[in-house]
Amino acid sequence: MKVLASRPLPGPAWAELDDVEYLGGRLPEAVGSEPRQDVEALAVVGDRVDARALDLLPAVRLVANYGVGYDSIDVDECRLRGVAVTNTPGVLDAAVADLTLALILAVRRRVVEADRYVREGRWERDWAETSLLGDDLDGALLGIVGLGRIGRAVAPRALAFGMRLAYAQRRRLDEADELGAEFVPLDDLLACADVVTLHVPLTAETRDLIDARRLALLRDGAALVNTARGDVIEQDALVRELISGRIRAGLDVFTGEPGAPRELLGLPNVVLTPHVGSATVATREAMTRLVVDNLLAAAAGRPLVTPV
């Protein structure tokens, strides 16, 4: 089966594919203007797979997405054309949960500010200096927006640091009681939490879920952490709040990636990472394993491993 891929994927599983060609750019522009009849599957990393791309690749019968989020793929259009879509759920939950806690710690304890303080040669007083005082995690209320696989992986990590837990989503979960997480409506959660962390997929319902009105509900000094998708937050409104200094944030994802708003780059109250939630060696290799297993299953006519 001829596979067109965004790039080589990490890990030994990738070598199991026999016929792979790499895009020289982003879909659909990288394909050119003439349709290709030889490509039967796509292995994509953030590429836009829409009607235009599928018109150029009419023989494609599988889009294997490298990542759990597949908002760049027009799933409805794929369904209309009989094109299957797969993703890589489950294997990245722990890595994203770890980064979430890292961002919470970095923001609450002002780790990046302290690092810069030392590197710039400003450490001239004793350890009792008060200019870098942070906030404890112990006893702080963590509001988890979206208690899915990743949200549930964040919960025990936060509990280990002594945080209290609440969550918001469309329906209550029985298993939340076992995690010690209390159900709270979203607006109320935003108003009372010390830290809010987002773990919802990007859909029509969740785009700009945290808009200007809801950002204003965050109490002064609260922290907002986003390792989900940038478009879950109304980014311009978030930039305004952060410039004001009223809240803090730890952000791994942004609207219009790659890149983050220039206005955030010099702010001390925001920690920025370049969409690295799944960026551990073991996690990325496990993601590749799922992509390859789905491609091999499609080639052999077997059921797909992780269909969307």
257 labelled catalytic: yes
Handedness of CA 149, 254, 171, 191 (dihedral sign): positive
- Out of 229, 248, 284, 289, the active site residue is 229
275 labelled catalytic: yes
Q: How far apart are CA 130 and CA 132, in angstroms?
A: 6
Q: How many CB atoms lie within 10 A of CB 301?
A: 6
Q: Please list, in sequence order, all residues whose beta carbon lies within 8 angstroms of the beta carbon of residue 165, skipping any fewer than 6 positions away.
A: 141, 142, 144, 155, 158, 159, 179, 180, 181, 182
User: Facing residues of 48 across strands?
Assistant: none
- Out of 152, 275, 284, 289, the active site residue is 275
- Out of 129, 175, 257, 263, the active site residue is 257
User: Facing residues of 73 across strands?
Assistant: 49
Distance of CA 64 to the CA centre of its chain: 18
The residues carrying an active-site annotation are: 229, 257, 275
